[in-house]
């Protein structure tokens, strides 16, 4: 697999770093990481960035992950870019809605590097 460019969307800067570290521990070679603190910031990033995958929290202020996935469909740079939702145990309904809106998978917090491999690698493989 080639090096990937990733957009990590989470209102917690600590969680964004944990996601990045988990990707690296899972053996995913990262060329560049873009970060956004909510869906609105992520839409701005996506106007200029070309990424291979987006990892997005569901519960965020300003614009949550569900609304982000819906609005992402209108962003030219986002065509064909898979979105994997990151969620807590209690938001199963949100996951179902996100998948219906176009997300390609989800990862439950807290997660391990092995779970990242299990959920992220197939999504990346499907894109290339």
Fold of 4-127: Rossmann fold (3.40.50)
Predicted confidence pLDDT, tens digits, the chain (128 residues) = 579 999 999 999 999 999 999 999 999 999 999 999 999 999 999 999 999 999 999 888 999 988 999 999 888 888 889 999 988 755 677 778 878 888 898 888 888 889 998 889 888 887 54
72 closest CA partner among 104, 50, 40, 100: 40
pTM: 0.91
Enumerate residues 6+ apart whose C-beta is below 8 A from 33: 5, 6, 7, 8, 20
pLDDT of residue 90: 58
- For the chain, the structural domain boundaries read 4-127
Separation of alpha carbons 2 and 51, rounded Å: 13
């Amino acid at each position: 697999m080639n090096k990937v460019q990733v957009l990590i969307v989470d209102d917690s800067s600590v969680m964004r770093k944990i996601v990045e570290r988990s990707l690296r521990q899972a053996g995913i070679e990262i060329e560049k990481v873009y970060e956004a603190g909510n869906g609105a910031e992520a839409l701005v990033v996506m106007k200029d960035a070309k990424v291979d995958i987006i990892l997005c929290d569901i519960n965020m202020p300003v614009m949550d992950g569900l609304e982000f996935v819906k609005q992402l469909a209108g962003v030219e740079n986002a065509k064909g870019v898979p979105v994997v939702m990151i969620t807590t145990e209690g938001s199963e309904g949100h996951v179902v809605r996100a998948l219906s809106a176009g997300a390609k998978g989800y990862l439950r917090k807290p997660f391990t590097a092995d779970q990242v491999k299990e959920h992220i690698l197939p999504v990346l493989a499907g894109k290339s």
